[in-house]
Amino acid sequence: MDYEVKQVEKFKFVEEGNGEPLILLHGLFGALSNFRDLIEYFRHHNRVIVPLLPLFDLDLLHTTVGGLEKFVYKFIEHRDYKNVNLLGNSLGGHVALLHVLKHPARIKSVILTGSSGLFENGMGDSYPKRGDYEYIKKKTELTFYDPATVTKELVDEVYGIVNNRIKAIKVISLAKSAIRNNLGEELNQIKQPTLLIWGNNDTITPPFVGREFQRLIPRSELHFVDKCGHAPMMEIPEEFNRILHKFLTKLNEPAAVA
């Protein structure tokens, strides 16, 4: 299903459904398509919002994790969202973490899947390698446990980015910023309930990264999923949605009376 991309001032976003806000932040090579199954499921339970992050629209100085966080902050303030469940995949998870550390007031819970912020393997020293479609295809396939998950559309998107000189420079800028912006010493400040959903076969942010996030974030719970790589919401959407729905439902249950 295709969703209408709305534009209000400088913000482009999808917004579907009603109820408590569930904001989804995509990663470095992310797009709306990454969240298709998640949007379709949760729009019946929540107000699902996907801002299109300006990965390639900021000037180079602000093409950083911090620059993206400022954009998310302005977006949430402008739209006046409250009690936000903030979900991020990969770089989007990193942006979500930085946001909740800087501006926790409007955030009810945090959901991370394959998040950077502690450790991640890059795409290799030779990345981005321009002009070589098969190379880009193989590197994109490494994101997933099952290479068949990778569509031609997805490879074409990545190929288009790395073969655009300005976009390729900004990809490198964001990747370097993510490595520099290690949040290990700050994560114990997060007070919100936090859900971690991790692929057991994630080679970019391997399982030990999920365990470290759980150790460092006080109110966190960790779920591993088998036969799954770096983007569980794409590779095992039914299981991902089940875990997330249970977490969100539990948050809204009245506290047990002793």
Which residues are paired to 21 by β-bridges? 47
Residue 191 lies in a domain: yes
Average pLDDT score over the chain: 91
Give the whole-number percent of the chain exceeding pLDDT 70: 94
Q: Is 70 exceeded by the pLDDT of residue 125?
A: no
pLDDT for the residue numbered 248: 98
Residue 41 lies in a domain: yes
Residue 154 lies in a domain: no
- pLDDT confidence of 122, banded at 50, 70, 90? low
* Model confidence pLDDT, tens digit, residues 5-58: 999 999 999 999 999 999 999 988 877 788 999 999 999 999 999 999 999 998
Q: For residues 38 and 104, give the distance between their C-alpha atoms in angstroms, rounded to a whole number.
A: 24
Neighbours of 161 (CB within 10 A): 18
pLDDT, average across residues 67-73: 97
Q: For residues 229 and 200, give the distance between their C-alpha atoms in angstroms, rounded to a whole number.
A: 7
84-89: strand order across its sheet = 6-8, 11-16, 47-51, 21-25, 84-89, 107-113, 194-199, 220-225
Q: Is 70 exceeded by the pLDDT of residue 82?
A: yes
| Lowest mean pLDDT segment, chosen from 23-32, 181-190, 208-217, 244-253 | 23-32
Residue 152 lies in a domain: no
- pLDDT confidence of 124, banded at 50, 70, 90? very low
Number of domains, the chain = 1
Residue 175 lies in a domain: no
pLDDT for the residue numbered 162: 87
Q: What range defines the domain where residue 49 resides?
A: 6-122+182-251
57 backbone dihedrals φ, ψ, rounded to 5°: -105, -20
pLDDT for the residue numbered 31: 74
pLDDT, average across residues 103-119: 96
* Model confidence pLDDT, tens digit, residues 129-186: 566 888 889 888 989 999 999 989 889 988 998 899 999 899 999 989 999 999 999 9
CATH number at residue 245: 3.40.50.1820
pLDDT for the residue numbered 28: 86
One-letter identity of residue 124: G
pLDDT, average across residues 229-257: 90
Q: Is 80 exceeded by the pLDDT of residue 84?
A: yes
Residue 142 lies in a domain: no
- 31: closest CA among 14, 8, 7? 14
Q: Is 50 exceeded by the pLDDT of residue 104?
A: yes
Q: For residues 197 and 247, give the distance between their C-alpha atoms in angstroms, rounded to a whole number.
A: 11
Residue 172 lies in a domain: no
Residue 116 lies in a domain: yes
pTM score, whole prediction = 0.93
